[in-house]
A and B are shown apart, each in its own frame.
Chain A
Amino acid sequence: MMRRLIVEQGDTALQYGSGQGHEGLREQITEVMALEGIHAHADDVVVTTGSQQALDLVTTIFINPGDVVVAEAPSYVGALGVFRAHEAEVVHVPMDENGLIPSVLESTLERLKAEGKRVKFLYTVPNYHNPGGVTLSLERRPQVLEICRRFGILVLEDNPYGLLGFDREPLPAMRSMDKEGVIYLGSFSKTFAPGFRVGWAVAPHGVREKLVLAAESSILCPSNASQMAISSYLAHSDWQGQIKKFREQYRERRDAMIEALEEYMPAATWNVPDGGFYVWIKLPEGLDAKSMLPRAVTARVAYVPGTAFFFDGSGSDHMRLSFCYPTPERIREGVRRLAGVVDAEMETVRIFGPRGARPTTTVQSPSPDLA
């Protein structure tokens, strides 16, 4: 595919392109988004270097030091890093099995308003949340939008996993219900290939203009070669069929992980995701996922401690397991090893009792791939 691209369209693919992104690809992106009920024009789309760059640009535009971003508890570690870098304060709002809880969102915004805090936007991953694994229900979507509109804050809808549901058609995106109040972020990383680093943002007109300017200042333009490769893939391949295959593969892996957890780790609790990549696990009482990590690495198994997904470093009683990459057999073996690690840590905690004060030096551990 790449060879043909270079031979046939090298003159364009190896050149600078438009700051807003390749026009043909932007057209195709509107077709991708139509699957989730979004009716947008190619002019509304800004192509970025992965949706991570869109996240960074939106944050650059809106956030001054001390501004507040409201986000789910827990929240995507890569977004928290961006908000932290721009000196935002992140206030978490809890989720239940139906996603973000509107009544708590409302009371949190009331409280922040009373405290005189300047809230800029709600950052949310409504579908197959990373790391929570849950989906914001259809019923709650307009409620969340209405609350945000009332408080005058934007919704930053980050949707890398929307098409990766196992058992049902995609829910309508929040952007499909509100054109003016939502900035939508999409990505080809999870549905095609992360190596091309192509994502996009769809924003209300005024914001979109700023996004293009910010993107041009930052990188001049996104990679033409990457964009044209994806454009060609969308034009000439059965990409929807490919996504279906991915979904089936991920479902099989999810099943392997859940079965292994039921067999090996009955003392822990978890949600069963119906899409996406992640299982969010609550450890047995008294265990600290961060202190336990070295033991796991020694046993040749890794996870991301829950602390990565909270702005204030809480969440040590949780961990995120990912089932997207390993085969079902490897997943089963990984969970078996992890169960041994959990048992050994429980034994240690039993001996020394519940957690006391932390010593001066905390455990340092090699960082796994957090994203």
Chain B
Amino acid sequence: MDVLILAGGLSHERDVSIRSGRRVKEALESRGIRVKVSDVDTSLIPTLQAMGDDTVVWPLLHGAPGEDGSLQALLELVDVPFVGTRSREARVAWVKPVAKAVFAHGSVSTPEYVTLPQSLFREAGADQVLTVLLEQFPLPLVVKPALGGSALGVSLVTEPDQLAQAMVQCFAYSDTAMIERAIFGTEVGVSVVGTGDAARVLPAVEVVCEGPYDYDARYNPGRVEYFTPARLDAVGTATIEAAALAVHRKLGLVDLSRIDMILDANGVAQVIDINIAPGMTETSLFPQSIEASDADREVLYERICEGALDRYRSR
């Protein structure tokens, strides 16, 4: 088996993706697997078409087009085996309000939210929209781009006069904003490996951050303390694990994902974010979870690739 890692891309998370790609490459190579890393450019399709029969593609692009389903659609069109969620499910997971509508039933909770495009503010008058928004969503609240899973463009609003600027910052990343009620509690990232009934959780990582857990905190060491496994009692642990598995299955995610959530004061797991191509860098949560489990990282990555190849062959 050979592996072709796709890393880089022209998103705001390009650097992180390149680091993720390098880490996974090293891990797979230590298992004796031949690994090539490619960026997404005009050479991609010829590269895919020239691949041998036993080569698996592992897309490690963070943000669009690696996580929004576009790249997966291309891989399906060229018809090559690849690791991870397929294009349609990726698209659903990418659009946060749509994903919430799919997974937030029964045992799975998510903060109350509303989705508002920039055009609505223009047409209905920004002041009036913000006023009714604040009536229904008392502060504090969180403003974030409706698309994607990174912390870019996310603001915590604690005072009414911060709201307009938070919207401006959000719209620098996306035409549509999602406004959520802010939740406080124990913040955890739960990594899931496998697919459907065979999916299982890895030990959760608890994130304790000095200041907001933003892009800078995620990828530059120093401001964040991680606890793996999370410092939760048996009930809390069972709650977050059940929520993560339910989300992974309801959204039809494949091979791996990381589900971010906050266990609130009432012991309810409030799901915040879905990542179908979680970061694999030295500070990323997914590798930390593997470290705390009884699995071996290199072996696990190899199994994920083998699983993808088997799935493709047994279609």
Contacts and interface: CB of A to CB of B under 8 A. Distances in A.
B is bound to A? yes
Contacts of A351: 118, 121-122, 126
Nearest to B123: A351
A288, A349, A356 — most chain B CB neighbours (10 Å): A356
A347, A359, A366 — most chain B CB neighbours (10 Å): A359
Nearest to B170: A363
A360 B157 contact: yes
Given A359-B157, A361-B155, A349 B168 contact: yes
A360 B162 contact: yes
Interface string B6-17: 000010101100
21 contacts: A294-B12, A294-B152, A294-B172, A295-B172, A345-B172, A348-B167, A348-B171, A348-B172, A349-B168, A351-B118, A355-B164, A356-B164, A357-B159, A357-B162, A359-B162, A360-B212, A361-B154, A361-B214, A362-B169, A363-B153, A364-B151
A112 B14 CA distance: 45
Interface string A279-321: 0000000001001111101101000000000000000000000
Given A345-B172, A357-B159, A361-B214, 5 more contacts: A295-B173, A351-B121, A352-B164, A352-B168, A355-B165
Given A348-B118, A361-B214, A298 B173 contact: yes
A340 to B, nearest CB: 13
Contacts of A364: 151-152, 214-216
A252 B75 CA distance: 44
A349 B151 CA distance: 22
Contacts of B12: 294, 297-298, 365-366
Interface in B143-177: 143, 151-159, 161-169, 171-173
Contacts of B168: 288, 291, 348-349, 352, 355
Mostly, the B contact residues are: helix
- Can you list the 8 inter-chain pairs with the closest CB atoms, starting with the nearest? A364-B215, A359-B155, A359-B162, A352-B164, A361-B212, A359-B166, A360-B156, A356-B161
A200 B205 CA distance: 50
A281 to B, nearest CB: 18
Contacts of B161: 356-357
Given A291-B168, A291-B172, A366-B12, A352 B126 contact: yes
B151 to A, nearest CB: 7
B118 A359 contact: no
Contacts of B122: 347, 351
A359 B165 contact: yes
Nearest to A295: B172
Interface of B: 10, 12, 14-15, 118, 121-122, 126-127, 143, 151-159, 161-169, 171-173, 212, 214-216
A371 to B, nearest CB: 17
Nearest to A286: B168
Contacts of B154: 361
Given A361-B212, A366-B12, A352 B167 contact: yes
A291 B126 contact: no
Contacts of B172: 291-295, 345, 348, 363
A356 B118 contact: no
A363 B169 contact: yes
B152, B161, B166, B169 — most chain A CB neighbours (10 Å): B169
Interface in A315-371: 345, 347-349, 351-353, 355-366
A366 B158 contact: no
Contacts of A355: 164-165, 168
A358 B162 contact: yes
B14 A359 contact: no
A298 B14 CA distance: 12
Contacts of A291: 168-169, 172
Contact of A294 (B156, B165, B173, B212): B173
A198 B152 CA distance: 38
B15, B127, B143, B164 — most chain A CB neighbours (10 Å): B164
Given A348-B168, A365-B12, A353 B126 contact: yes
B180 to A, nearest CB: 13
B8 to A, nearest CB: 13
Interface string A5-35: 0000000000000000000000000000000
Contact of A359 (B127, B156, B171): B156
Contacts of B163: 356, 359
B158 A358 contact: no
Nearest to A288: B168
A293 B215 CA distance: 15
Nearest to A341: B172
Contacts of B159: 357
Contacts of A345: 172
Nearest to B171: A348
A295 B12 CA distance: 10
Contacts of B143: 359
B19 to A, nearest CB: 13
A35 to B, nearest CB: 41
Nearest to A355: B165
A294, A298, A300, A351 — most chain B CB neighbours (10 Å): A351
A291 to B, nearest CB: 5
Contacts of B156: 359-361
A347 B122 CA distance: 9
A88 B88 CA distance: 55
Nearest to B213: A361
Contacts of B166: 359
B65 to A, nearest CB: 12
Contacts of B153: 294, 363
A292 B15 CA distance: 20
A123 B214 CA distance: 35
A348 to B, nearest CB: 5
